[in-house]
């Protein structure tokens, strides 16, 4: 079996194990990059039995030279390890050459969050656009991920019972998020507006101007646009709004278990970072807004 055939077999196995399309793309992209690098350096790259530890270490050094972050390099190494472990388990390889390769050190970076005056300014700038305002309110008041927002269906937004359902979020687990007054009002206004527009996709909740479902790049663009208009100078992404939700809920003493459930975290340790953010970043707001 060739290396190319082995990669296709590995990705099909992941699909059979119910991995999400996003995860499959990530594995495919990382492994394709690795194999393309090996192909440039070895003529026998398409034989999986020819791979050695030096190939993986050489690729890691290549990534370091390109100044990729430690987090990115760790992710790519994890994909390579899983690929070779699969080949070993299926007797395509005698041993996993990536097993003893050490990963890069992860950078300890605190996630960026918005202070109250910043997210209020962001909402103010978006207030003239019913759809965009509802999108930003949804991010800030529910903490859902970008992929979850663009996948949101009409039947999953229950305005009568003040509830939003995230279907098959990260980790393949559905979760329920109660809707507070501000986001409830924004979603009601958007739904009324939506019903007056061209609709080509009946099921998707947030629609593009042409009546089809929104794509990820459009949402990233609109958030960046309002960040600039609001005069926010820190680096802000869509994920910043999710971090903001988590940190402010922790600052208001929401229980760790509840916050973990709302944000859809598989591990408690992931949620714990918001407790730390609440004790550091939000305290800085007192200094910045001092009289």
Domain positions in the chain are: 3-89, 116-288
Q: What is the DSSP pairing of strand 157-158 with strand 175-178?
A: unpaired
Q: Is 239 a catalytic residue?
A: yes
pLDDT at 169: 61
Mean pLDDT across the chain: 90
Q: Is 276 a catalytic residue?
A: no
Model pLDDT for residues 213-245, shown as the tens digit of each residue:
999 999 999 999 999 999 999 889 999 999 999
CATH of region 3-89 = 1.10.150.130
Q: At what angle do helices 70-89 and 21-41 cross, to 10 degrees?
A: 90
Question: Given its phi and psi angles, is residue 133 left (phi above 0), alpha (psi -120 to 50 degrees) or beta?
Answer: alpha
pLDDT at 279: 66
Homologous superfamily (CATH) for 116-288? Intergrase catalytic core (1.10.443.10)
Reported as a pLDDT band with limits 50, 70 and 90, residue 83 is: very high
Q: Is 105 a catalytic residue?
A: no
More reliable by pLDDT, 22 or 9: 9
Q: Which of 188, 225, 239, 273 is catalytic?
A: 239
- Name 145's Cβ contacts closer than 8 Å, sequence gap at least 6: 169, 170, 239, 242, 264
Reported as a pLDDT band with limits 50, 70 and 90, residue 84 is: very high
Q: Is 167 a catalytic residue?
A: no
Reported as a pLDDT band with limits 50, 70 and 90, residue 102 is: confident
Average pLDDT score over residue span 50-71: 92
Q: Which of 53, 81, 170, 175 is catalytic?
A: 170
DSSP, collapsed to helix, strand or coil, labels residue 26 as helix
DSSP, collapsed to helix, strand or coil, labels residue 158 as strand
- Closest CA relative to residue 250, chosen from 263, 240, 266: 263
Q: How far apart are CA 204 and CA 215, in angstroms?
A: 11
- Name 110's Cβ contacts closer than 8 Å, sequence gap at least 6: 276, 277, 280, 281
Model pLDDT for residues 203-212, shown as the tens digit of each residue:
999 999 999 9
- Closest CA relative to residue 53, chosen from 85, 97, 96, 18: 97
pLDDT at 43: 87
Reported as a pLDDT band with limits 50, 70 and 90, residue 289 is: low
pLDDT at 22: 85
Q: Is the whole model's pTM more than 0.85, yes or no? A: no
Flag whether pLDDT at 120 surpasses 60: yes
Edge-to-edge strand list for the sheet holding 163-166 = 157-158, 163-166, 175-178
Q: Is 268 a catalytic residue?
A: no
Q: Which of 145, 243, 248, 249 is catalytic?
A: 145
Tokens 């939506």 — which residue? Answer: 194
Q: Is 25 a catalytic residue?
A: no
Reported as a pLDDT band with limits 50, 70 and 90, residue 273 is: confident
Average pLDDT score over residue span 56-75: 92
Q: Where are the alpha helices (DSSP H) in the chain?
A: 3-16, 21-41, 53-65, 70-89, 116-126, 130-142, 146-150, 181-194, 216-229, 238-251, 256-263, 268-288
- Closest CA relative to residue 239, chosen from 166, 164, 151, 148: 148
pLDDT at 111: 73
Average pLDDT score over residue span 121-131: 97
State the burial class of residue 78 (Cβ atoms within 10 Å of its Cβ: 0-12, 13-18, 19+). Answer: middle
Q: Which of 76, 194, 242, 248 is catalytic?
A: 242
Flag whether pLDDT at 161 surpasses 60: yes
Q: Where are the alpha helices (DSSP H) in 44-129?
A: 53-65, 70-89, 116-126
pLDDT at 109: 65
Model pLDDT for residues 17-28, shown as the tens digit of each residue:
988 888 999 999
């Amino acid at each position: 079996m060739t290396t190319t055939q082995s990669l296709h077999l590995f990705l099909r196995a992941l699909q059979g194990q119910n991995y999400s399309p996003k995860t499959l793309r990530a594995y495919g992209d990382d492994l394709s990059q690795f194999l393309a690098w090996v192909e440039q350096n070895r003529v026998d790259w398409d034989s999986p039995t020819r791979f050695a530890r030096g190939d993986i270490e050489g690729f890691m050094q290549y990534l370091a030279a390109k100044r990729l972050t430690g987090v990115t390099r760790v992710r790519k190494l994890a994909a390579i390890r899983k690929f070779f472990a699969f080949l070993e388990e299926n007797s395509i390889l005698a041993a996993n050459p990536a097993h003893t390769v050490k990963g890069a050190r992860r950078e300890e970076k605190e996630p960026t969050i918005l202070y109250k005056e910043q997210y209020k300014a962001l909402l103010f700038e978006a207030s003239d656009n019913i759809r965009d305002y509802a999108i930003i309110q949804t991010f800030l008041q529910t903490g859902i991920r970008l992929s979850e927002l663009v996948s949101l269906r009409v039947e999953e937004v229950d305005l009568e019972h003040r509830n939003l359902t995230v279907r098959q979020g990260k980790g393949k687990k559905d979760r329920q998020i109660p809707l507070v007054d501000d986001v409830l009002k924004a979603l009601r206004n958007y739904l009324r507006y939506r019903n007056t527009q061209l609709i080509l996709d009946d099921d998707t909740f947030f629609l593009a101007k042409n009546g089809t479902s929104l794509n990820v790049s459009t949402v990233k663009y609109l958030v960046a646009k309002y960040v600039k208009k609001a005069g926010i100078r820190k680096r802000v992404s869509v994920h910043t709004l999710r971090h903001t939700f988590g940190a402010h809920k922790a600052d208001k003493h929401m229980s760790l278990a509840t916050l973990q459930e709302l944000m859809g975290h598989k591990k408690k340790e992931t949620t714990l970072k918001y407790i730390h953010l609440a004790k550091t970043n939000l305290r800085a707001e007192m200094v910045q807004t001092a009289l």
